[in-house]
Amino acid sequence: MLSAGEYQTLRISRIAEPGIYLSDEEGGEVLLPNRYVSLADKVGEVVEVFVYHDSENRLIATREKPFATIGEVAVLEAVDRNAHGVFLAWGITAKDLFLPNRNVPFEVQMGSRYPVYLYRDELTGRVVATTKLNKYISNAEITVRSREQVDIVVVRRMEMGYRVVINNRHWGMIYNDQIFSPIKVGDKMTAYVHRISEDGRIDVMLQQEGRQAREDATTKLLSLLEKSGGRLPLTDNSSPEDIAAATGLSKKSFKRAVGALYKERRITLSEDGITLNR
């Protein structure tokens, strides 16, 4: 069934002046406008598209990929407004995302970015946004476990680190001492559950723990050495900040990687740095 706010795999049913029509298994059709059509598109072929409502409430398909779909959190920029709400840049050239006044309990500034959750309005079927994330994001019933790989969206800078949304379902935190490369509000990335407290707080980290983490750190350090001409001006005495800036690794991970490469005789250590053995 054709519905807005989702990626759908559809078959090219016919070619018309405004573009090509795509159909689902139930015979419903949606237009893919000419700006998204290529000469390689043929009747009978299957394509993946994103479906949304245009300004006239018609379902339209696009090959552009929006910043978020239904059931997801994203940090989006406010670009326009009318009497009923605000419009957010969505990543679709011909369509901004609507944020109704009822879903934003504060004054929105044009050009500023806000964390929002996307859902389908029951009355109109349109995709809309809300800043009231607590209605959808909760730690009441936690569905992740320690050391699990998760997807996160960075939604707020705080003094002790960054608040994140985990798997579009839970609140979490990355603390400053677990950040070894630049991140910013709006970033989407992979993380790992570090700790779940008894009261339901979830801490995440951007690097794995255990054997896989050591192997990943070793591979990364070796790659950095090769890209830098075979030498890095880092030692055991380098500060955690210098190590993080140069490698994106914690000092602990860096030292383990250095130890592994030294044991394999792939590097030489000196008082002023590391040299790759050729």
| Right CATH for 149-205 from 2.40.50.140, 1.50.10.10, 3.30.43.10, 1.10.287.3510 | 2.40.50.140
In this prediction, residue 210 carries a pLDDT of 57
Across residues 227-244, what is the average pLDDT? 85
Across residues 233-244, what is the average pLDDT? 84
Query: What number does CATH give the domain 6-62?
Result: 2.40.50.140
Q: Which amino acid is at 52?
A: Y
Query: What number does CATH give the domain 73-134?
Result: 2.40.50.140
In this prediction, residue 211 carries a pLDDT of 61
Across residues 45-53, what is the average pLDDT? 94
Helix spans in the chain (H): 211-227, 240-247, 251-263
Confidence of residue 136 (pLDDT cuts 50, 70, 90): very high
Across residues 99-106, what is the average pLDDT? 96
In this prediction, residue 145 carries a pLDDT of 94
Query: Residue 22: what are its φ and ψ, rounded to 5°?
Result: -110, 145
In this prediction, residue 112 carries a pLDDT of 97
Task: Tell me the pLDDT of the chain averaged across its residues.
Answer: 91
**Does 215 have pLDDT greater than 80?**
no
Q: How far apart are CA 38 and CA 28, in angstroms?
A: 22
pTM for this prediction: 0.78
